[in-house]
Amino acid sequence: MMLKYGMTALCLAGVWGTALGVYGADARVFHVRPDGNDAGPGSADAPFATLERARDAVRAAKKAGALPGGAEVVLHAGRYALTRSLKLEAEDSGAEGAPIVYKAAPGAVVSLTGARPIPCGAFQPLAGDAIDERLDPAARGQVRCADLNALGFPKTSVPRDNFRLPFGIPELFVNGRRMTLACWPNEGWATIAKIIDQGTMRNDGSVSDSADPKKARPKENRGGVFEYEGDRPARWRVEQGVWLHGFWCFDWYDDAIRVAAIDPAQRRITFKVAHVYGVRQGNPSPRRWRAVNLLEELDRPGEYFIDVAANRLYLWPDQDLTQARVALAVHDEPLIVLQNAADIALRGLIFEEGQGDGLTITECRRVTVEECVFRNLRRKSIHMNGGASNRIARCDIYDTGTGGVTLGGGDRKTLTPAGHVLEDTHIRRFSVHQFTYASALHFSGVGNVARHNLIHDAPHQAISMHGNNHLFEYNVVSNVCMASDDAAAFYKGRNPSCRGNVLRYNLWSEIGSPRGHGNAAVYFDDGDGGETVYGNLFFRCGDPGKGSFGTVFSHGGHGNTVDNCVFIECKRALGSAPWNDARWKAFIEAPLWQERLLKEVDITQPPYTEAYPELIGFMDPKPGAARDNIAVRNLFVKCDEVKSNRWVTNELQFVTFDDPGFVNMQQRDFRLKPDSPVFTRIPGFKPLPLEKMGMRRPARSE
């Protein structure tokens, strides 16, 4: 396997699995085409026009007992505009071996869109009025305006005073490309010159603060004040609404706040409301911010602004609109909703241009999503919760606003697994709007699996996890945590009842962009323990920052194991920030952990004490007890430092600054030669299956 610069490239032969194919001669087939007719029979010659009509036809046939072999709804090429969610419920279910399949016709490009088109003639030049005068001089004569009221578009609500992105402003697409809300600066960030008043602080960001819901919080809601550099903000009209998006305290939390006042003489900005953590220097790097959706900053092609009061859209086109498809996303519900359904398959469909999620799957069984594309969605691609045995395979997910896939299901009280699977899926650029805690993949519940996926390119984490007995294996993760701090590609924490999870045979590369505090590839935070990291390869991952961070980092927790892993050119491979007896006692007695460890589940009783014997006595910590993490049989190559603090290692480690016998270290082929000294220096070390990591199919172009 060759590890190339930046994104990881795996040259793998073949594609795993087979297509859904034909489910038997008895499958009933219905056809849909954008220019069809819902009054017709839904045949190949007289197709339906809408998915809802096809769904209703399947329902009717099922009630009549005419679907012994299931059904196929074949969607022919074109764009299907959904004005409301397509809902598939229990009555729309198939049966085991006879599913209901919604699929693209062979070779057809089928788009399900939540956007409404805007005629090119609706965009008119400005007439040199007061609006034109507010524009940057470079934009005058270039900007076009469309009256959304006249076009029948609903009025957009004024954004809240403080919120996590995305903005409530509808997204605009031209020929399938997302346009940019007018912003400043156009690239990168402005930085705070000086904090004058942090404002009211309701939470200091620590788990100890969050753990005490009875702690008195200030009732005052005083916004912070800061000084800025330059004169650009003097142009902005606060009375029209100005919102700033930024990292106001920590580099792991971004949100937007409304401005109350701008003082050009003192170059000061005052917020209308307080920030939850206060405007302050919570992490070492400068506090970053940018202004969003300002008419005065509509200053380059491809940008737009929506005046929510007047319901008008302003666009500086980056191409000839007479030759373009312009569409505004107004559908803020999921494009498709599956609830309490079973044995349904979606294949070969494109979900795009929606204001909400692409697809939600709630309390469903044996639902399959294959070879679909999810792109240009304001929120997530797929949100799965509850049910069992659902599968997402060979999909492409990119340019989503608040994350990729939520894989949730299973009963934590009984430790019953859901068995959901995500595999052979390519996920990238998945936090376009919300920069932090918008993971490519979020696990919850019990016993779900993600394997053979390719995940890359994000400002913050790639995988977040909650729950028990999940498996993350044979995945490739690269170029994430590129604009955040105190973060990691994989993050889990703040609930010691969530354990038994395994990360094995994954490749992590180029993780983190140092900002001073520290970052990691794998982060077990705030008392997290009982996890296993086995057979992973880490290349140039993490940064120790100001303290104890490592490529694999444990904050407070214990009982984590790192075994048979390879660390290459990592500044510090293993990091730990242990808690003392007093802190452990405080957390165990705190209301938050009492709720999580004894009420949500009960770790003092079976099945927890049987599945995790180390939890016996957990609620009664002994003074001076060893709280260690274990690292055995690991290879460290050109790492500046092996570990910090409470990692227990033994002689079965190999630390070297030389080539340990890789096939071609210069070309980043990190397979070990059969005669590598690693196998004698580390008895029992097993070669990593690098050729199996990543997708078992070629990556598709966008």
d(C-alpha 295, C-alpha 226), whole Å? 23
pLDDT digits (tens, 9 = 90+) for 29-75: 999 999 999 999 999 999 999 999 999 999 999 999 989 999 999 99
Percent of the chain's residues with pLDDT above 90:
89
pLDDT of residue 1: 46
For 117, the 3-state DSSP assignment is strand
| Confidence grade of residue 207 (pLDDT, cut at 50, 70, 90) | low
Query: Does 690 have pLDDT greater than 80?
Result: yes
Per the prediction, the chain carries an average pLDDT of 94
Chain centroid to CA 675? 42
For 25, the 3-state DSSP assignment is coil
pLDDT digits (tens, 9 = 90+) for 142-193: 999 999 999 999 999 999 999 999 988 999 999 999 999 999 999 999 999 9
Query: Does 4 have pLDDT greater than 70?
Result: no
Cβ neighbours, 10 Å, residue 9: 17
Q: If you ran DSSP here, which 8-state letter would residue 173 be given? A: E
Query: Does 283 have pLDDT greater than 90?
Result: yes
Alpha helices, DSSP H, located in 151-263: 207-210
Cβ neighbours, 10 Å, residue 403: 28
| Residue appearing with tokens 């460290």 | 636
pLDDT of residue 25: 53
Query: Does 208 have pLDDT greater than 70?
Result: no
pLDDT digits (tens, 9 = 90+) for 462-490: 999 999 999 999 999 999 999 999 999 99
- Tell me, what amino acid is at 637? V
| Confidence grade of residue 214 (pLDDT, cut at 50, 70, 90) | low
Q: What is the mean pLDDT of residues 98-124?
A: 98
pLDDT of residue 514: 86
Cβ neighbours, 10 Å, residue 321: 18
pLDDT of residue 205: 73
Q: What is the mean pLDDT of residues 90-100?
A: 97
Is the bond preceding residue 34 a cis peptide, omega within 30 degrees?
no
Structure tokens at 625: 């007890």
Q: Is the dihedral of CA 427, 431, 433, 434 positive or negative?
A: positive
Q: Of 472, 357, 355, 338, give the one whose Cα is nearest residue 404.
A: 357
d(C-alpha 387, C-alpha 5), whole Å? 40
CB-count exposure of residue 685 (10 Å: 0-12, 13-18, 19+):
buried
Cα first-last separation, the chain? 24
The H-or-E segment that residue 58 falls in is helix 51-63
How far is the CA of 129 from the CAs of 134, 237, 277, 651, in angstroms? 9, 17, 42, 77
d(C-alpha 400, C-alpha 402), whole Å? 6
Query: Does 22 have pLDDT greater than 90?
Result: no
The dihedral formed by the CA atoms of 689, 690, 695 and 696, expressed in degrees to the nearest 10 = -60
Contacts of 644 (CB under 8 A, 6+ apart): 544, 548, 550, 572, 574, 575, 576
Q: If you ran DSSP here, which 8-state letter would residue 610 be given? A: H
Is the bond preceding residue 47 a cis peptide, omega within 30 degrees?
no
Percent of the chain's residues with pLDDT above 70:
95
Query: Does 12 have pLDDT greater than 60?
Result: no
d(C-alpha 214, C-alpha 209), whole Å? 10
pLDDT digits (tens, 9 = 90+) for 534-586: 999 999 999 999 889 999 999 999 999 999 999 999 999 999 999 999 999 99
**Of 58-62, 221-225, 407-411, 514-518, which range is least confident?**
514-518
| Confidence grade of residue 216 (pLDDT, cut at 50, 70, 90) | low
Contacts of 21 (CB under 8 A, 6+ apart): none
Contacts of 313 (CB under 8 A, 6+ apart): 118, 145, 146, 148, 172, 304, 305, 306, 328
Q: What is the mean pLDDT of residues 624-629?
A: 90
Q: Is the CB of residue 225 less than 8 Å from the CB of residue 268?
A: yes
Backbone angles phi and psi of 556, in degrees to 5: 85, -30
Query: Does 15 have pLDDT greater than 80?
Result: no
pLDDT digits (tens, 9 = 90+) for 152-166: 999 999 999 999 999
**Of 62-66, 120-124, 212-216, 474-478, which range is least confident?**
212-216
pLDDT of residue 128: 76
pLDDT digits (tens, 9 = 90+) for 356-412: 999 999 999 999 999 999 999 999 999 999 999 999 999 999 999 999 999 999 999
pLDDT of residue 5: 29
Cβ neighbours, 10 Å, residue 76: 16
Contacts of 318 (CB under 8 A, 6+ apart): 174, 301, 302
d(C-alpha 204, C-alpha 171), whole Å? 34
Cβ neighbours, 10 Å, residue 348: 21
Q: Of 490, 463, 466, give the one whose Cα is nearest residue 404.
A: 463
